[in-house]
Chains A and B, each alone.
Chain A
Amino acid sequence: MKRIVTGAHYGLRDWLLQRLTAVVMLAFSVVAVLRIAEAEPGFEGWRGVFEPAWMRVALFLFLLSVLYHAWIGVRDIYMDYVKPVAVRLALHTLTVLALVACAGGVFELVWSH
């Protein structure tokens, strides 16, 4: 088997995590849509949706799931379509940096309001 430096982990872990994060996102989406649908229109109502401590934890887990899920999915796209190793490695690096930067923003977003 030919292994290349920019390949996947050749394992079950990411496959499984892609599904676990999907379940987290499915559950959160349903809860969030229900809460948003019954919220008062306007800023106070909107903020109220994300106010309770449990909702903050749920939003946090949701957003981290989004970021990890996105990483696996985008990596799969690169593996399918981007063949030159240098280009693929560059794209992987940029994507990881962008997603980690987003993760930093997620901390601030969830806990500072």
Chain B
Amino acid sequence: MTSLPSAAKRPKHLDLLRISLPLPAKVSILHRVSGALLFLALPFLLFHLDQSLDSAEGYAHAAAFFGQPLVKLVALLLVWSYAHHFCAGIRYLLLDLHVGLDRIPANRSAAIVLGASLALTLLVGVRLW
């Protein structure tokens, strides 16, 4: 395909490793990633919630399970997933109501979402340890 010199410099396809996504796009893909993680964790979380409510032994069992360092790390990743999905979800609901649609407020709210979800994760992490 021949094209004009100015057009030749444009990328012919989107190389995800070379392009720099704007903040709202990063929030968007993280919303998807966090949602997928939560979906995959769902059966395990339901099982442990059920067990922890069953009896004192079940509670102790679940507490011991979540006490393991590696499990704690995964749990923290899931806490971040929930926090991010939560904050980004509020942002999307507001966007649906046409709040903050312009470029500058949209960038700002994306930064707030990223920061707030990390802060919430830190808060829960401190309480867990």
Contacts and interface: CB of A to CB of B under 8 A. Distances in A.
Nearest to A99: B42
Interface residues of B, number: 24
B15 interface: no
Contacts of B54: 113
Contacts of B82: 29
A110 to B, nearest CB: 9
Contact of A74 (B39, B49, B89): B39
B60 A105 contact: no
11 contacts: A29-B86, A43-B52, A43-B55, A43-B56, A46-B52, A46-B59, A47-B59, A70-B42, A74-B36, A77-B36, A108-B50
Given A70-B35, A77-B32, 6 more contacts: A23-B93, A26-B86, A43-B60, A46-B59, A73-B32, A109-B53
Contacts of A46: 52-53, 59
Contact of A26 (B56, B60, B90): B90
Interface of B: 32, 35-36, 38-39, 42-43, 46-47, 49-50, 52-56, 59-60, 82, 86, 89-90, 93, 96
A31 B51 CA distance: 22
A47 B56 CA distance: 9
Contact of B46 (A23, A26, A102): A102
Contacts of A77: 32, 35-36
Interface residues of A, number: 24
